[in-house]
Structure formats: C-alpha cells, structure tokens
A and B are shown apart, each in its own frame.
Chain A
Amino acid sequence: MLSGMPQAVRLDSVTKIYGGAGRGGRDVRALDTVSVAIPPGTFTAVMGPSGSGKSTFLHCAAGLDSLTSGACWIGGIALGGMNETQLTKLRRMHVGFVFQAYNLVSSLTVRDNIILPLRLSGERVDRGWLEEVLARVGLTGKANARPSQLSGGQQQRVAIARALITRPHVIFGDEPTGALDTVTARDILTLLRSCVDATGQTVVMVTHDPVAASYADTVLFLADGRIADRMQSPSADRVADRMTHLGAWA
C-alpha cells in the first residue's frame, strides 16, 4: 500500500475478459493487466481509439462491472468480494456519474434528480449543501424544473450536481460533453475543472475529444486493453498528435 492518504481510485493488474461463449465467438480481452493509481483532487482523462477498452476501464473502476482478475479500490475500499447490493451502496455514497446522455430520470424534478442518491440511501438532505451545489453548477432557481424543460447543457449540469451531492471519492464521466455543442461543452468542462480546483474533487473522464482531454491534469491513453501512454498537463494539440500515433484516426 502507498503511505498516507489512499488513492481516489486504484487498479491493480485488472484484466477483464468478455466471454464469447454465447455466439461461439472467441473471448475478448477488453482490459489486460491494467494497473493505475489516481490521486485525490486530480482531473484525469482516459482516451483511446474505439475498442481500446475505455468504457470497460470506466465500468471496472466504477464498480459497474466485475473483474476477471486483479483488484480495484475506490477511496481505499476494496471492491473485490462485494455483491451487487454492496457495490450499489458503495457507488451511491462514494462515486458520482455523468453520462453522455439520458442522465436524468425524466419524471423527477431537478431537485429530486439531484438528491436521488441521498433519498435512496435514506439520508437526510442538507438544504444548505443542496443550495450550494445548485449554485455551483449554475442552476439556482431551477430546482423545480423538469429535465424536459432544460437544455442539453443544463441537463449535464444537473447530472454533475447529482454527482457532487454525496461528496464522493470520485466522479466518473463517460463522454460527458459528447452530445453537446462546442460552446456548451466548454462550459461543462470548465465546471468539472472548477470542481477539482475549488473543492479537491477527483474526476475521471472518458472522452475521445482532445479539447476535452486538455482540461485534465493527466491523460491516460488506452490501446488494446493496455495503458499505452500517459501525459501530464496536456494540450489539445499534443493529445491529438498522440492519438494519431495510436491509430485512432487512421
């Protein structure tokens, strides 16, 4: 173990193999002995060409999917040996999610969507904190709106607010700007960046957009299920360049 504060997310020789048994196909090795440690208070982008294992990486690191071998920790808590209910409770309290789309339950108001994890764990809602989160994502006064009344960018802000409400060890984003126009995407990325800078939140984001990746502290490049490279303080151009070498746009 590393000394001092635990890593926000740690993967140790994680391998994930998808069985092709059903259709007589061969097994797919989506992650191949991946080891990585993401320190708290950092913004990490995960990039790679299609089929490189980006999504699998996210699923495994976030406790959404089981590992074939290896071990995984979130905030120092080992995920190994947990059943589905325990994993859910862990995700509820310690992990936030921002997906590309369909982030919100359409029948619930903005407020209800945000406090959903708290309600499901039966916890009291701290009104002050809720107001603060709403203010931070720029949705003050929109608490009673329905998702259908919001723009795409605003919907992503609600998702971020929901991710923040539990003060999780880590927020995972899966192409959080993938469905947004450039200007809105920039706002959302700035918001995520500010979460890291202002409150020491840890963010891990899968993306294929070099501009999005440039907002991160570190970029992890995945190829064929392995970590092919990592880059500190990235810029969009350097990331794009590196991706070209990985054959992403070949």
Chain B
Amino acid sequence: MLRYALQSLKARKAGFIGAFLALMCAAALVTACGGLLETGLRGEIGTERYSGTPVVVAADQNVHHVTKKKGKNKDKAKPLDERVWLPSVTRERIEAAPGVGAVVPEADFPAYVVGSNGRIFGGPDGKESSGHAWASAELTPFRIDKGTPPRTDHEIVIDRGLASRAGLAPGDKVTVQATGLPSTYTVAGIATTPGGDLKEQAAVFFSSDEARRLAGHLGQEAVIGVLPKEGVSTGELAKAVGKALGESSHEQVSTGGDRGRVEFLGAAKARGKLISMGGAIGAIGLLVAVLVVSGTFALSIQQRRREIALLRAVAATPRQVRRLIGREAACVGFAAGLLGAAAGLPLASWLHGKFVGFGTIPETLKLVRSPFPVLAAMAATLFAAWAAARISARRISRIRPAEAMSEAAIEGDRLPWGRLVAGGIALAGGVVLFVVLAALHTEPASMPVTYLAVLVISIGLALLGPLTAKGALAVLGVPLRLSRVAGYLAAHNARANAKRLAAVITPLTLLVGMSSTIIFVQTTLGNAAEHQVRGGVTADWVVDSTGPGVPGAVADRIRGLPGVRAVTEIVHTSVRTPGLDKYSVQGVTPRGLASTMDLKVTEGSLDRLGGHAVAVSDVVANSKGLHPGDTMKLLLGDGTPVTVSVVAVYKRGLGFGDLTTAHDLVAGHIDNPLSDSVLVAAGGGAKRDTVREQLAAVVRDFPGAVVTGSGRMADRQATTHEENAEVNYVAMGLIVAFTAIASVNTLAMSTADRSREFALLRLAGMTRRQVLRMLRLEALTVALTAIVLGTGTSSATLTSFSIGMTGEAAPAMSPMIYLTIVAAAAALALSATVLPGRITLRSNPTDTIAD
C-alpha cells in the first residue's frame, strides 16, 4: 500500500505540488513560530552588568494569584513592569549566611550624559543608560582604565564606550540628567570590564551617597550581589543564601543564566510577547494549512475520480482507497515537513532579527535553537496533511465504482447534509465569536479572537462553498452574459462547476479577509487612540523630552511664569489588580487638569483627583462594575499595594490610559520618575506669543526638553502605535504570504486540469484568444466573489473588534490600502489562472483529446 502510494505520488507530482507547497510553508511557519515560542519559554538572557557576580538576590518581580481548582492550589504569576526593590535589611540576612565573602547592594536608575549642544548620550544603538554607585562596580567587575574612582559627590566614572561616544576624558566637566535636575559633574575616571566595552547599556557611576540620593527608594536596594569566600562554589553559595533568606518567596536567588532576567526586566515582557505571538501565528498558520490543503486534496481527488473509480471497481474497498489517500497525504506531509522545517530555521532567525529590530525583544534574548520546533513542525504538518486527507476522504466514499465505465466524470450536484450542517455550525460559531469580540476590551485578549473569527467564518464559507459560489454567480452571471462568447461560456462553466470554483474561491476569500483584518485592526485601534488624544489634549503647548524625560523642576519653573494657567506633569506606568489584570496608568498633576486635558468624564468629577482618589476609564468601570465612591485594590508598578477610591469614570481610556491617578501616587514607584510630557495651558489674559517665548527660555536651560504644539501628544501616540503595529504586520504578513501561495497553487492546479475542456472548445471553433478571454472572465468572477466575501468577513470582524475596543462601531479602513489588497487579489487570481491556461493551450488540441 505504501509502495503504491509512493508510486502514485511519483506519477502525479503535479497534482500534489499544491498540497506540498502549502504544507511546506506551514512547516516553515510552525518551525519559526516554535523557535520564537521556545525562546519565550526558556530563552536565556545573557547578563552583562552582573557578569562578575555568581549569586544575585532580587525581589520577586511577579504578582502571584492563587486560585483553588479541584482542591489544588494553582499559582498564577504575572510580571510587574517596574522594578520591585528589596528592603535594605535583606543585606544583613544574607551576610549571616556561611560562605558569603561580600554583599554588594546595587542601585539602578536612569542617568544620561548630556553633550554640550544638548545632545543626550545613551547606550550603544540608543539603548538605556543607568546610574550606579561606584561601590557596586565590582559586580561586573568594572576596573578603572584611566583616572580615579569618584572621590566626591561631584565626580563620576563612566564606561569606556560611553566616554568615546560622548568624547569625554578624565577631568572633563559634563552635565548628567538623572532622576532629578540635570547637574554638572567632573569625570574622574573611565572604566572598562574584562568583557570589553558594554554592548547592552551605558553605565554612569556616582559616589555612594550621590547614587543613593538619585535612586530614591529610601531603605531599599534594587539588587544585592553576593560574592563568595574563596573556595566556595556558586551552588553552595546560592544554597546558603537561599537558606539564610528562609522560605519566603519574596526574595529570589539567581545564578548563571537566570541573572539576565534580573538585569533586563523588559525581557520578561518580551518573553510573554514571543510566547503569545509565536503561539498565535503558529496556530493560525496550521489552521490555514488544514483549510487550504483539504481544498487542494479535494481538488486532486476530483481530478483522480476515474482512477479511484477504477480502483474501486477492480479491487479496492472504500477503506483501502481512503487509506491510500491517507498514506499519500502522509508521504507528502512528511517530505513537506522535512523541507519546510529546514526552511523554518532561517525564517526563525529572520523573525527574531525583525523583532529585535523593532525593539519588541532585547538583543540579549537569544534565539533558542533546539530540535523541538522542528519535530513539532513535522508532527504538525503530518497532522495537517492527515486531517486534510480525512476531510476530503469523505468524498471518496461517494465515488461509485461504476463511474469507471462512464465516459465523463460528472460532479455530484447536491451538497451532503453533513457538510451543510458543519458549514452552518462554523458560521454560527463565527457569529458567537463576533459577540465575544464585542465584549473584549483589551488588545491582547481580542487580537487572537479577531483572527480566529475570520478563520472560522472562512471555514464556514468553505464548507458551504458550492452554495456561496452559486449564489455569487447568479448575481455576477448577468453582466457576464453581455459578452457573447467568452462571457456566456464563463458564466455557464462557472455555474456547472460550482464545486471547483468554490475550491479556488476559499483561499482567495481567506486572503482578502485575513489581510484586511490584520491591517485594519491596527488602523482602527491606532486611529481611535490617536483621535482620543488629539481631542483630549486641550493644553496650548506640550513640553517633551528627547532624553529620559522632563524633570519636575522644569514644571515648577513653568508654573511660576506669568500667563501660565495650568501645568500638568504626566508619567506613564502600569498597575495590576490582585487578580492579575493589568491596567495602563497615567499619573497627572491634579491641579488645573481641567484646562489641559479633557478625558470626557461620564460619571463623577476629576476635581477630587489626588492622593488615593483615582479616575477609571469606562472599559475598566464596566468590566469591574465600578462607580464613583467605590474602592479598588491595586499593586503599583513596583508591587506596592494601595487601596484607591474611584472619583470619576471617563471615556478616553484608549488614548490616555485605563486609569488616571495623581502624579504623586505613582511617581515614587516607577523606574524613571521623570515626566514623559508636561502640558502647559496659557491663561489670565497674557499674550500667547509672550508666554511661548518665556516657556522656550525656561526650557532652554534643560537639555533634551523641547516645546511643541498640543498635537505632539497625538503624533507620539500614532508613532508608538505604528511601531507596535509593524511587529504585527511582519508576523501576520507571513500568514498572508502563505495564504497567497496557497491561493495561487489552488488556482493553477484547477486550471491545468482543464486541458481536455480547452481542447474541446478549440476543436469546436473557439480561438485561443477567446478561450483565454473566457478564462480571464472566470478568474475575475472568482476574484470578485472572493473580494465580496472576504470584505464582508473582515468588516464584520472589524466592527465587532471596534465595538469592544473603542466602544463605537467605527472600523477604520484606509481606502488606499484596501484598494491595494483588492487589486492584489484580482491580479493574483488572473495570473494564476491565465498563465497555466496559456501553457495548457500551447499543445495541439487534437493531441490533447487523443490522450
């Protein structure tokens, strides 16, 4: 049987090439996504700062939520976005442990060198720059290359990379923007590490007192490094430290590859992103593969009707034929899986590179290479092929052996009940997903549902394909008949072969639906957020920073200017609820907020904002059932628990944040306490131009700060969103490319099979040009049907998405992009039909008939 399957494959390469290509792409996709997924799950983040410290103690960065399920406690943990600091007493507990040679506490805060022209110098390639105490230089270890360590609070040591970028030498005076006012320091020395210059960051070392002052967090340490006594191994030391700290899970002892996680907090977020993205693309790719491949298999079975009828007549039971098809599928799946997985390895590197390029994941999070994704991809491809064969095998049972003797293979006319019911269920499932989607308010939750909805609807349309095709053709047939010969034939052909047409309409529909959904989900979201910000910023000017942020002193100076009515400092962070929900937060200066920002309050008032009184967006209010006067428990960015009371509910949450709190509530709990922006409103009858000039004069004293118009906030929102969207475009673009390949090969396969029909038409007197014209009309009919169906699917999905995310049924579809998608689909359909048609028509019609 296997031999027969192989022989049959060898002889019918053309018929299987479609399935083979689709499966190969799926395998490549799954391998690449598997690589990302695995990197997210167990990728190691190399440490740079703690290279010289075998054991690092840090606070637990996660919020834990314990739920009881079937008598078992289930601990769910989600990371916080800001660093959780350790109490300083932890030091003494560690010092008590045996084998400990030295305990080195580490402070960590943003610190940027400012050049003479106001230029801000960060790490290499725009990476971050952090300030530390020179006392903790040992952790890397840093050694003085030139100059001396800082001896006073006005001296600093910088790393050699930074020194060469900024052109600094020992003795130079330089401004440093850390967490407070920018101040001038003298460069006392330049330091290097045994590993050469820093690649992931820049380091600025202060005296211990100065570092403590700048870091804030009184009585707390960011990280504690532990160095062993001589002869004590890392394992022993870690064990001893763990024992000394007791069973409390609040402190975490890290060694080896785990240290990178302590150093780069952003990497945890990146892991989450990789896991969700890898999973989503892989799963959708696999589903698309099953859908497309079952289509190509169905087509190839249709084309082999006679052979199968012969087999059935002569010797083979229905089960044997099904098994044969199954084995063929398995062989195709195996070969495609092997090649695809091989192609997936470079694809994984490429994707990883793109993600690093977009800044979604840090470069330190290296791609994990293991055989698992390859094996998973091969298993998944085999499964997809098997599933597709199973799905199309139902047709085999309906091929009657007596057909072996009849001259023409005629398509069955009626759709079987099972398929109708399955199609109905899929469509109903899609509608359910729309309803679900309209009730989802967060991007990570609704994104996968969005793609799933498009897929489920497409599956429904595929199952009911012949019906949809007939319906569409009944409408399109009218204009087609205007063309006397080609159009007339095209319309009749289409109607008579609805099933074949359905097979090519399905992938094209998916292509149009998927690509427009992927793109317009982003524009819908981006437009809504941008729109809210543009409408919500009522201030006259925005003071922004090209560096780490705007210091509080700038805001204070601006407040003192005559003609300035209100100044609002804004910081952004996130909080979690004890139930692990994550909310974005803007911390704002409550005084005068009404004249700088309009959040569209629907309940309560922002007048009482301040202290522990906060405002929540309507999305949060609805999902938690909150009203003014209610209280809620929150964990601030660094894990500090607070109980806040709600004073207002507002509409513009998408643009400004889920929660709005007083600046003071959150500013002490974020890594970078500098303001992201400062809004300034003029008032009191002063001339705007005068105020603006004074504003500019104030800002001039602060490096990196710039005065811009009020539209700046919205522009920034748009840019940030664009950057996030790009990652999605790249990832989902792969799915689109995959679907395009699948559409093309289905179309080509379907056309190449019609050589006999074309030969007959030509013998009946049609010219080659007329046949091609007929083909073009057919292709356009197919494309048009697919465009209508795909557009319908995506606009329904986008509407539900838009209702859920923005509260309004307002999907934003850019006409230019939409037209591009439509044109691409039509071009794809035309070329994939006409090119094989041309090749088929090249042969002599009499020869074709004789074959």
Given A22-B413, A64-B401, A112-B7, A103:B318 Cβ within 8 A: no
**Contact count band on A:** 20 to 34
Residues of A within 8 A of B316 (CB): 88, 92, 120
Contacts of B310 in A (CB 8 A): 99, 102-105
Taking a contact as CB atoms closer than 8 A, the residue among A64, A104, A119 that contacts B4 in the complex is A119
Q: B residues within 8 A CB of A174? A: 405
Closest A residue to B308 using CB positions: A105
Binds A, one of B8-16, B72-80, B116-124, B337-345: B8-16
Quick check: B314 and A22 within 8 Å, CB to CB? Answer: no
A199 within 8 Å of B by Cβ?
no
Binding site for B on A (CB under 8 A): 22, 55, 58-59, 64-65, 84-85, 88-89, 91-92, 97, 99-100, 102-108, 112, 116-117, 119-121, 162, 174
Query: Is A102 a contact partner of B306 (Cβ separation < 8 A)?
Result: yes
Select which of B10, B314, B319, B402 is within 8 A of A116 by beta carbon.
B314
Q: A14 CB to closest chain B CB, in angstroms?
A: 15
Residue contact B405 to A55, C-beta cutoff 8 Å:
yes
What chain A residues lie within 8 Å of B12 (beta carbons)?
107
Which chain B residues border A84 with CB–CB below 8 Å?
317-318
Contact B11 A22 (CB under 8 A): no
B313 touches A85 (CB 8 A): no
Contact sample, A vs B, 14 pairs, CB 8 Å cutoff: A22-B413, A64-B405, A65-B402, A85-B317, A89-B317, A91-B314, A97-B314, A97-B404, A102-B306, A105-B310, A108-B4, A108-B8, A112-B7, A117-B314
How many Å lie between the Cα of A105 and that of B413 in the bound state?
Answer: 27
Cβ of B483 < 8 Å from any Cβ of A? no
Tell me whether A107 and B10 are in contact in the complex, defined as CB-CB below 8 angstroms, given that A22-B413, A65-B402, A102-B310 are known contacts.
yes
- Closest-CB distance, B223 to chain A (whole angstroms): 68
Most chain B CB inside 10 Å of its own CB: which residue of A22, A116, A162? A116
B314 contact set on A, CB distance < 8 A: 91-92, 97, 116-117, 162
The answer for the CA separation of A104 and B7 in the assembled complex, in Å, is: 14
Among B296-314, those with CB < 8 Å from A are 306-307, 310-314
A120 to B4, CA, bound (A): 10
Given A89-B317, A105-B8, A119-B4: A64 in contact with B311 (beta carbons within 8 A): no
How far, in Å, is A100 (CB) from chain B's closest CB?
7
CB pair A105 B318 closer than 8 Å: no
Contact B405 A100 (CB under 8 A): yes
Q: Which residues from B are CB-within-8-Å of A106?
A: 11, 307
Residues of A close to B1: CB separation below 8 A = 119
Kindly state the separation between the CA atoms of A107 and B312 in the bound complex, as whole angstroms: 16
Closest residue of chain A to B406 (Cβ to Cβ) is: A55
A85 contacts across to B, CB distance below 8 A: 317-319
Tell yes or no: B320 within 8 A of A by CB. Answer: yes
CB distance from A124 to the nearest CB of B (A): 15
- Give Cα A55–Cα B405 distance, bound, in whole angstroms: 9
Chain A residues lying within 8 Å of B318, measured Cβ to Cβ, are: 84-85, 88
Which of A22, A88, A117, A121: most chain B Cβ within 10 A? A88
From B324, which residue of chain A is reached at the shortest CB distance? A120
Interchain CB contact under 8 A, B313 and A97: yes
Contact A91 B8 (CB under 8 A): no
Closest partner residue, chain B, to A92 (CB atom): B315
Q: State how many angstroms separate the Cβ of A82 from the closest Cβ of chain B.
A: 12
B414 at the interface (CB under 8 A from A): yes
Cα A108 to Cα B9 with chains together (Å): 11
What CA separation (Å) do A21 and B400 show in the bound complex? 19
Bound-state Cα–Cα, A65 to B402, Å? 7
Whole-angstrom CA separation of A59 from B314 in the bound complex: 13
CB-CB under 8 A from A55, the residues of chain B are 405
- Are B405 and A107 in contact, CB atoms less than 8 angstroms apart? no
Which residue of B is nearest A166, CB measured? B315
Which B residues lie within 8 Å of A116 (CB)?
Answer: 311, 314-315
Q: Contacts A64-B401, A85-B318, A120-B320: A108 and B312 contacting too (C-beta < 8 A)?
A: no
CB-based contact B10/A99 at 8 Å: no
A106 to B15, CA, bound (A): 14
**Chain B: which residue is nearest A146 at the CB level?**
B11
Min C-beta distance of B64 to chain A, whole Å: 59
Cα-based distance from A22 to B402 in the complex (angstroms) = 19
Q: How far is the CA of A98 from the CA of B156 in the complex (A)?
A: 97
- Nearest-neighbour CB distance to chain B for A95, whole angstroms, equals 9
Least distance between A179 CB and chain B CB atoms (Å): 11
Contacts A84-B317, A92-B316, A106-B307 supplied; 4 other A-B pairs, CB < 8 Å? A88-B315, A88-B401, A107-B12, A108-B4
CB < 8 Å: which of B7, B317, B320, B400 contacts A108?
B7
* Shortest beta-carbon distance from A206 to chain B in Å: 9
- Most chain B beta-carbon contacts within 10 A, residue among A22, A91, A100: A91
Complex alpha-carbon distance, A59 and B400, angstroms: 11
Q: Looking at the complex, which one of B312, B317, B404, B414 makes contact with A99 (CB distance below 8 Å)?
A: B404
B8 to chain A, nearest CB (A): 5
Residues 401-444 of chain B, each 1 if its beta carbon lies under 8 Å from chain A, else 0 = 11011000000011000000000000000000000000000000
Chain B residues with CB under 8 A of A102: 306-307, 310, 404
Q: In the complex where A85-B318, A88-B315, A105-B307 touch, is A99 in contact with B405 (Cβ < 8 A)? A: yes
CA distance A97 to B315 in the complex (A): 10
Tell me, rounded to whole Å, the shortest Cβ–Cβ distance linking B307 to chain A.
Answer: 6
**Could you say which residues of chain A place their CB within 8 Å of the CB of B313?**
64, 91, 97
Contacting A at CB under 8 A, from B485-513, are none
Q: Which of A58, A97, A120 has the most CB of B within 10 A?
A: A120
Among candidates A108, A112, A120, residue contacting B315 with C-beta atoms closer than 8 Å:
A120
B759 CB to closest chain A CB, in angstroms? Answer: 17
Chain A residues, Cβ within 8 Å of B311: 105, 116
**Neighbour of B312 across the interface among A58, A65, A88, A103, CB < 8 A:** A88
Cβ contact within 8 Å between B404 and A107: no
Q: B306 — which chain A residues lie within 8 A by C-beta?
A: 102
Q: Would you give the shortest CB distance from A130 to chain B, in whole angstroms?
A: 16
**Least CB distance, B198 to chain A, in whole angstroms:** 64
A100 to B414, CA, bound (A): 29
Closest residue on chain B to residue A58 by CB atoms: B405
Q: How far is the CA of A22 from the CA of B312 in the complex (A)?
A: 25
Q: Which of B247-292 contact A (CB under 8 A)?
A: none
Report the bound CA distance from A102 to B404 in whole Å.
Answer: 8
Residues of the B chain whose Cβ atoms lie less than 8 Å from the Cβ of A162: 314
Q: A102-B306, A102-B404 are in contact. Are A121 and B7 (CB under 8 A)?
A: no
Task: Provide the bound-state CA to CA distance between A122 and B404, in Å.
Answer: 23
Closest 9 CB pairs of A and B: A107-B11, A117-B315, A120-B315, A88-B317, A64-B402, A92-B315, A85-B317, A107-B8, A107-B7
Nearest A residue to B413 via CB reads: A22
Closest to A113 in B: B314
Q: Which residue of B lies closest to A101 (CB)?
A: B407
The residue among B307, B310, B319, B320 with the most chain A CB atoms within 10 A of its own CB is B310
Q: How far is the CA of A47 from the CA of B657 in the complex (A)?
A: 87
Measured between beta carbons, the chain B residues less than 8 angstroms from A59 are 402, 405
Query: Chain A nearest CB: distance from B617 CB in Å?
Result: 59
- Contact, CB under 8 Å: A91 / B315: yes
For chain B residues 701-742, which have a beta carbon within 8 Å of chain A?
A: none
| Nearest B residue to A159, CB-CB | B314
CA distance A247 to B11 in the complex (A): 45
Shortest beta-carbon distance from B418 to chain A in Å: 18
Nearest CB of B to A168, in Å: 11
A237 to B783, CA, bound (A): 60
Residues of chain B lying within 8 A (CB to CB) of residue A112: 4, 7
Contacts of B413 in A (CB 8 A): 22
Closest beta carbon of chain A to B496's beta carbon, Å: 14
A93: nearest chain-B partner, CB-CB: B315
Which residues of B sit under 8 angstroms from A99, Cβ to Cβ?
A: 310, 404-405
Task: Please name all residues of chain A whose beta carbon is closer than 8 Å to the beta carbon of B307 when the two chains form the complex.
Answer: 102, 105-106
Q: Chain B residues near A100: list those with CB within 8 A.
A: 405
Residues of chain B within 8 A of A120, CB atoms compared: 315-317, 320
Nearest CB on A from B842, distance (A): 20
Give the residue name and chain of the A residue nearest to B6 (CB): A107
Interface hub of B8, B11, B315 (most chain A Cβ within 10 A):
B315
